[in-house]
Amino acid sequence: MTLPPVPPTDLNLPQRTLLGPGPSNVHPRVLRAMSLPCIGHLDPAFLEVMNGTIDLLRYVFQTENRLVMPVSGTGSAGMEAALVNFIEPGDTVIVGVSGLFGERMADIVGRAGGRLVRVDAPWGEPLDPDEVATALAAHPGAKALTVVHAETSTGVLQPLEPLARLAREHGCLFIVDTVTSLAGVPVKVDEWGLDVVYSGTQKCLSCPPGLAPLTAGERAVEVLKARKTKVQSWYLDLPMLVSYWGTERFYHHTAPVNMVFALYEALRLIAEEGLEARFARHRVNGEALLAGVRAMGLEPFAREGYRVPMLLSVKVPDGVNDLEVRKDLLGRANVEIGGGLGPTKGRIWRIGLLGHSAQRENVLLVLAALEAALGRQGFKAGPGAGLAAAEAVYRAEMATAPPAGASGPKAGGR
């Protein structure tokens, strides 16, 4: 076999400002943690990092659950683990579908042998609790209700408390996808009564992709113990994973040690900032971005009152080429934004301000770059209108901020 040309020894990658739906930019401290020497996944020093990671995950999930761990794999592994562990063949599962990731949940339910009942909402709209209630009433004995908190494909934020109450009233588990929402908006696992919750590291946690934080409450654990069949997936079998992440430390698979280092440091950054300050930072920057795109003559896609603060979906104006604008941003400004998926392909942009990427300078950068790119497409956004509108939001926030030295979040910054 002929040896191919040997590639350069050094990777020469561009420095991107990641303002799409994920991954987000990563803090230098997280990258340094990821580059620490690799040690064994049963090394006593690593076991201490595991303990600290679990404690910090409890803080971010706002839970006292015993079952908390990062599943080895991306957010999609978290989705599959959250479903296949609690669904057995023949179980009725009600899935709220309002975008691509609700569709994926529905697909996994079918693959696990569950009896799928869909409650659909148009893309860009939240689920209607009355329709969910009707589905639960029509299917007594349903095993679980599953929804996406922040639908990454549309930018819709689904209120969880009404659905959690419905799940409790009907005696079924409530399984929630928080891949985009965790650490960006409140996810109150205990207070809201969320039974199984999973996420991903690459969005508001601002860690490289590769782990899926997951937690399950006591109701869910009892359901898991009462299974009549083996979990469909060996690799994602939660009782086996708990034997490694719990006190036994029983070998299951070789954990991605350096990814856990990275997650640990990302969670430390969140704890240092404080959840409320972090939520405020995402909110303020999201408001500034929204004001800016509106001032440029662009329209948001998701329904008002149900928008993810840190992931704005924007309609592509008539006569503007979606892909060409995104290529322009990447090529000229090193800024990445996302396009639409499924029925919204070519119709929307998704601009993310996730975790470390949620900074004032990034909001101003993307607005300026987008104005220029639109101008090259013949769309007149009004010179500087977006920047002026965003700056007005920051000025208003600073006017109401606590005095210097007082406690409270700093508008727009880190």
Report domain extents, the chain: 28-271, 275-398
For the beta carbon of residue 22, count every other beta carbon within 10 angstroms: 24
Q: What is the DSSP-derived secondary structure letter of residue 406? A: S
C-alpha 271/C-alpha 386 separation (Å) is: 33
**CA–CA distances in Å: residue 221 to residues 47, 56, 68, 86, 239:** 23, 21, 11, 9, 9
Distance of CA 196 to the CA centre of its chain: 15
Q: At what angle do helices 44-61 and 257-273 cross, to 10 degrees?
A: 40
Per-residue pLDDT at 22 exceeds 50: yes
Which range among 185-189, 197-201, 336-340, 406-410 shows the weakest confidence by mean pLDDT? Answer: 406-410
User: Where does 5-128 show beta strands of DSSP type E?
Assistant: 17-18, 67-72, 92-97, 115-120
Dump pLDDT digits (tens) for 303-359. Answer: 999 999 999 999 999 999 999 999 999 999 999 999 999 999 999 999 999 999 999
Dump pLDDT digits (tens) for 76-96. Answer: 999 999 999 999 999 999 999
Let me know the angle formed at the C-alpha of 43 by 37 and 48, rounded to the nearest 5 degrees: 90
Half-sphere exposure of 384 (CA within 13 A, CB side): 3
**CA–CA distances in Å: residue 301 to residues 99, 290, 298:** 13, 11, 10
Please provide the DSSP assignment of 5-39 as one string.
PPPPSS------EE-SSSPPP--HHHHHHHTSPP-
C-alpha 225/C-alpha 215 separation (Å) is: 15
Average of pLDDT values for 228-243?
95
List the CATH code of the domain at 28-271: 3.40.640.10
Domain spanning 275-398, CATH architecture: Alpha-Beta Complex (3.90)
Q: And the tokens for 23?
A: 């991954």
* CB 138, CB 122: distance < 8 Å: no
Per-residue pLDDT at 402 exceeds 80: no
C-alpha 304/C-alpha 321 separation (Å) is: 25
